[in-house]
Structures are given as structure tokens and as C-alpha cells.
Amino acid sequence: MFKIFNEQFEEIPLPIDDLGYGLRGLDLNISSVAQEVTEHNVQGLSGSIQTGFRDASRDMNISARIKAKDKTDFRLKRDRVFAFFKQLGSFYITENTQGNKLMLVRVVDSYQFDRIPNSQTYSIADIPLKIIGQPYWISRFKSTDLQKGINFDGNWSFGMGLDVEPNKLNYEFSSSSFTLYNAGSVPIKTIQEKNHCIITIEVKETVNNFLLRDAIGKRFEYNPNKQSNWTLNSGAKIILNGHYISLNETSILERTNRYFPVILSGDNIFNVEGISKFLITFDFRFKYY
């Protein structure tokens, strides 16, 4: 009922021996995302004033079964499962029916396998999972994998928001105004997305200053003070990767206004000002509730 991948997105088989004895998944259970409410009491007013909401965490566990040859083999298989998750560390997990939406988790709490009554060879356990980082599913593949359209290669599934016109699935732009489509149900704050959202701006002319305005009207600006020694030549590439902004592998955060674009769910209208010849690429994973 579920699959496991390492942090390099390579599938890891469950610990099963050549005779078919070992760990088998029964189900993957997950709750909704909880919210934390910021609220304040004001003297003289009944109740409280709510000033904000923030996504918190969610509960997740896997139901699994050990099938063993006999009671001695059960103990061997049990210990092998304990070692498997301990050595695995953090890993991605996905439901078989939604095999392209993954969650980064880790087994941190203790658990035990309970014998099925009147059986020496079957035992079951609910293994709690600790979600690492944000409590959202992420797409196994990235937006730039869609540049040539959705192929029947098993990389994309129903329910991933990609049942749209093919021209929406473009993530390279060279015009001053363009529409960027986020197929996920969760907005992407690029400052939080190290290695999962990389924006590359390739400059194709000499330019001293330019800006990129996102769908909420805020802007990322290069060289807002217009210092002459920060002029870019054709071929320069600025890369935004999480909170890290670089030019030719050198950090240039101080050359910007320190704003990181937001990509809302659905269509996003972006505008580029101050430069006419460029190529901007958005390479990110979609996020889902």
C-alpha cells in the first residue's frame, strides 16, 4: 500500500527475504493539516481577537505486517525491521495509488509488533512517522520535467492539477510579462524551498538593474541602489535557491533587496522590468495538502 524512497528519490525495497518472508505494508494513514491560531485578549472585549493562522503539523503512521516462517524467524525479521528504519534515517513515503506525491518522514518513536492470536508467523504494528519539515506532499518530479508535456511514463498522476491546456505547462520565459502555473494546492514561498525550487535568471545583455514582480505585487530586485560595479554582462546567471542567491556560485544576497518571490496555487502573472533580453526558468516541486 506504500512505497519508500531515499532522500535522492530512489526507491528502497522493504526488508523481505528471497522466500517472501518479512515486512509488508498494509496501509498508510494520514490526518489533515492542523492549524495554529494567533489570538489576543483585549481588555473590555469578550472573547479574543484572531490575528493569524499558520499550518502546523499532521499525524502519519504506517500499518505493517511481518510474515515469518516460524517463531524464531519472526524474531529475526522483527529485528531486521528495527534496523531497517533506524539505518534509513529520513526518507520519503508515498501511497501506491498516488505514487508521485511524497512526504519526507522519519521513524523516531518506539513501536512493537503484536502477534495475531493463535499464530506464530504473523504480527502487525502501527509505526508512527514524524514528518520532517513542512507537512505537505511534494511532487516526485519537478516543473521543468513538464516542458515537453505529460508523457505516459508514470511520473505524473491524476489529482495533481495537471489536467490543463498544454501551453500552461511551460516553465521557461523570455517575455516581460508571463503566466506561471502552479499545479499544487499549496502556495510556494521560495525562501523556504532549498533545492526544491530553483529560479534561474540568465541575462542576455549588459544590465545594471532589473526587477521581477510576482503575483502578489511584490518584487525581487537586483542592484536596487544601481551601483556601477555590479553591472551584469551577457551570459551572467543569477540563481535563487531557497534563501541563497548566487552569481557564478558566489553569494550576492547583498546585491538584492532580499525579497524572495511567492508562487501562488494556480495561475501567477509575473512581470520583468529593466531588462529586455533574458531567460528565466522556474524548476520546482508542486506541493499538496
Distance (Å) of CA 232 to CA 218, 229, 249, 255, 284: 23, 9, 15, 11, 25
Q: What number of CA atoms fall less than 13 Å from residue 112's CA on the CB side?
A: 3
The domains found in the chain, sorted by start residue, are: 2-135 (2.40.30.200), 141-288 (no CATH)
Tell me the percentage of the chain whose pLDDT exceeds 90: 81
| Cβ neighbours for 29, distance < 8 A, ≥ 6 positions apart | 59, 60, 61, 62, 63, 126
Residues 6+ apart with CB under 8 A from 188: 182, 197, 262, 263, 284, 287
Mean pLDDT of 48-77: 91
Query: Mind listing the pLDDT tens digit for each residue in 75-95?
Result: 999 999 999 999 999 999 999
Mean pLDDT of 119-126: 92
Tens digit of each residue's pLDDT (9 = 90 or more) over 140-197? 999 999 877 676 668 888 889 998 888 899 999 999 999 999 999 999 999 999 999 9
Choose between 152 and 230: higher pLDDT.
Answer: 230
pLDDT classification of 271: cutoffs 50, 70, 90: very high
At 186-223, the pLDDT tens digits run 999 999 999 999 999 999 999 999 999 999 999 999 99
What was the pLDDT predicted at 22?
Answer: 97
**pLDDT at position 152:** 62
In this structure, how many other beta carbons lie within 10 angstroms of the beta carbon of residue 286?
A: 29
